[in-house]
Amino acid sequence: MIIIACISSCKKTNPIENSLKNEAFLKTEKEEIEAFFFIATANVTKSIISKSQIAQQKSSDFAIQELSRKTEIEQTELLQEVSKLANKKLVIITEINATHKRDLYDLIDAGMISFNKVYLTSMAESLKEQINLFESISKETNDKEILKLVLHHLPEQYQILREMQRINNEII
């Protein structure tokens, strides 16, 4: 009889304890949107950094080499800030985007003649993706740190995009 009583009492759960456990793991929609922003931004930023590094090694055009060097520096700063904010909000940044890897392989495989065009097109797409992430999070959150990050980096993204489009038009 004692064993049965012990087993039944061990199986009982405390409803208050369960409630607290469930609340600890619940995320609000705002937190989910911000977590997506951090992960997506980190992934596209890593891709831009990698593309910039490839361009510095592979491009024979001085303007592209300089812009890719500048872009790498700016994007590395952005990645550090995004990672710091994500850590502060307990968001783990994981690499989940295979599309960016395909872009890198396309760049590595591009011939010397077509490289600049492939690079500029690929970078423009990545920058537009990053800009869209910045614009959408600015509408979805009222978090001051995220908005400050967007306010600081969004104009730089537009400037780099315009510069890449200008160089791309000159290559034609």
Each residue of 64-81: pLDDT tens digit? 999 999 999 999 999 999
Q: Give how many domains the chain has, as a whole number.
A: 1
Q: Is the pLDDT of residue 14 over 60?
A: no
Give 112: exposed, middle or buried? Use CB within 10 Å, 0-12, 13-18, 19+: exposed
**Separation of alpha carbons 120 and 153, rounded Å:** 20
Query: What's the CATH number where 90 sits?
Result: 1.20.1260.10
| Domain-located, residue 156 | yes
Within-domain flag for 31: no
Instruction: Report yes or no on 19 lying in a domain.
Output: no
Domain of 83, in residue numbers: 41-171
Helix, strand, coil: what percent of the chain each, to 5? 85, 0, 15
Q: Is 95 helix (H, G, I), strand (E, B) or coil?
A: coil
Inside any domain, residue 26: no
In sequence order, which residues have a C-beta less than 8 Å from that of residue 38 and are 6 or more positions away?
82, 85, 86, 89, 91, 93
100-145 pLDDT tens trace:
567 676 777 677 778 999 999 999 999 999 999 999 999 999 899 9
Q: What is the DSSP letter of 110?
A: S
Largest alpha-carbon pair distance within the chain? 89
**What does the alpha-carbon distance between residue 34 and residue 42 come to, in Å, rounded to a whole number?**
12
- Is position 145 within any domain? yes
Does residue 152 lie within any of the structural domains? yes
Give me the pLDDT at residue 121, please.
92
Q: Is residue 3 part of a domain?
A: no
pLDDT at 33: 87
pTM: 0.78
Task: List the helix and strand counts (H, then E) for the chain.
Answer: 7, 0
Residue at 165 is within a domain: yes
- 52 falls in which pLDDT band (50, 70, 90)? very high
Tokens of 159: 């400037």
The residue written with tokens 């607290």 in the block is: 20
